[in-house]
């Protein structure tokens, strides 16, 4: 797509496509060198901060983002507080402090809230069991394209029946959620989205699991489907599922607000107090 590169390739021999792994790595190395030189030129001797964070994509692979920010002459060097940076000896924190003793530690408040919720929830047996069962059900249904297609087909029929009975409304963008969401390891907001989506697709998932119990290709599939079907229909699972939806809905509002650029510390503290009161009233 780059016209300069395109003009060079037009002059090259027909078999010179530069698509081999070795050539691609060399090109990336050259580009990285140019970027580093450009960054050094722009920063010079001024102060700056580096933000590093990670997220797990749909394929369950970690993707790391590195952000370099400039600050004024009174600013200090800084770094984010994700899990992979907290190692005392091998983490980024130790490396930064070794190179820059005056670097200071800043932890994203929204991320800190999420990590606290994850740590606390693991101590509650019923909540731990809920997410364990939820993860198993989502993996069992969503890991195979055929089952995912079946779920969408069942949901489509369910929506048509609900529309005909007048139980749900129609409109642009309505009734589009037809897939389950896996909860991330450290992203508590993803737990809320996972619970919310599972509640919306509960009927469709139940129908699909029962169909696999009756028509599964082998005894392993039928057995696992039967176990999950019994688990998600149990009173304990359903009760904790809706209870956590209520709890996570309240904490989600706080989490999203803490990530806004225009929120100040006073409003943030007031919102934390309001959130605590709302949680105590459940």
- Which of 115-119, 174-178, 218-222, 247-251 is the most confident on average? 218-222
Domain ranges of the chain: 3-108, 114-280
**Binning pLDDT at 50, 70 and 90, where does residue 186 land?**
low
How far does CA 265 lie from the centroid of its chain?
A: 26
Q: Contacts from 100-107 at CB under 8 Å and sequence distance 24+?
A: 102/76, 102/77, 103/76, 103/77, 103/78, 103/79, 104/76, 104/77, 104/78, 105/78, 105/79, 105/81, 106/78, 106/79, 106/80, 106/81, 107/80, 107/81
Q: pLDDT (tens digit, 9 = 90+) per residue, 153-176?
A: 898 888 888 777 776 666 555 555
Cα distance between residue 101 and residue 92, in whole Å: 13
Predicted confidence at residue 148, as pLDDT, reads 82
Which has the closest alpha carbon to 110: 135, 131, 80? 80
Q: What is the reported pTM?
A: 0.59
pLDDT top residue among 14 and 105: 14
pLDDT top residue among 258 and 186: 258
Q: What is the mean pLDDT of residues 208-219?
A: 92
Predicted confidence at residue 163, as pLDDT, reads 77
């Amino acid at each position: 797509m780059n016209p300069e590169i395109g003009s060079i390739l037009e002059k090259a021999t027909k078999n010179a496509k530069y698509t081999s792994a070795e050539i691609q790595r060399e090109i990336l190395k050259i580009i990285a060198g140019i970027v580093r030189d450009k960054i050094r030129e722009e920063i010079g001797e001024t102060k700056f901060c580096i933000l590093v964070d990670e997220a797990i994509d749909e394929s369950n692979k970690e993707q790391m983002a590195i952000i370099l920010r400039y600050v004024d002459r009174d600013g200090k060097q800084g770094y984010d507080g994700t899990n992979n940076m907290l190692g005392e000896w091998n983490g980024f924190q130790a490396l930064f402090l070794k190179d820059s003793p005056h670097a200071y530690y800043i932890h994203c408040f929204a991320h800190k809230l999420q990590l606290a919720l994850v740590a606390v929830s693991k101590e509650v047996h019923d909540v731990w069991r809920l997410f364990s069962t939820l993860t198993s059900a989502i993996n069992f249904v969503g890991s195979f394209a055929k089952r995912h297609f079946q779920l969408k087909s069942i949901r489509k029929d369910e929506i048509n029946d609900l529309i005909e009975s007048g139980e749900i409304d129609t409109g642009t963008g309505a009734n589009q959620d037809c897939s389950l969401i896996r909860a991330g390891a450290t992203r508590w907001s993803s737990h809320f989205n996972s619970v919310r989506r599972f509640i919306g697709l509960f009927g469709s998932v139940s129908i699909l699991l029962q169909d696999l119990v009756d028509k599964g290709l082998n005894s392993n599939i039928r057995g696992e489907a039967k176990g999950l079907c019994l688990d998600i229909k149990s009173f304990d699972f359903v009760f904790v599922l809706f209870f956590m939806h209520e709890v996570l809905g309240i904490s989600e509002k706080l989490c999203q607000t803490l990530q806004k650029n225009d929120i100040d510390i006073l409003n943030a503290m007031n919102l934390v107090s309001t959130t605590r009161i709302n949680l105590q009233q459940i």
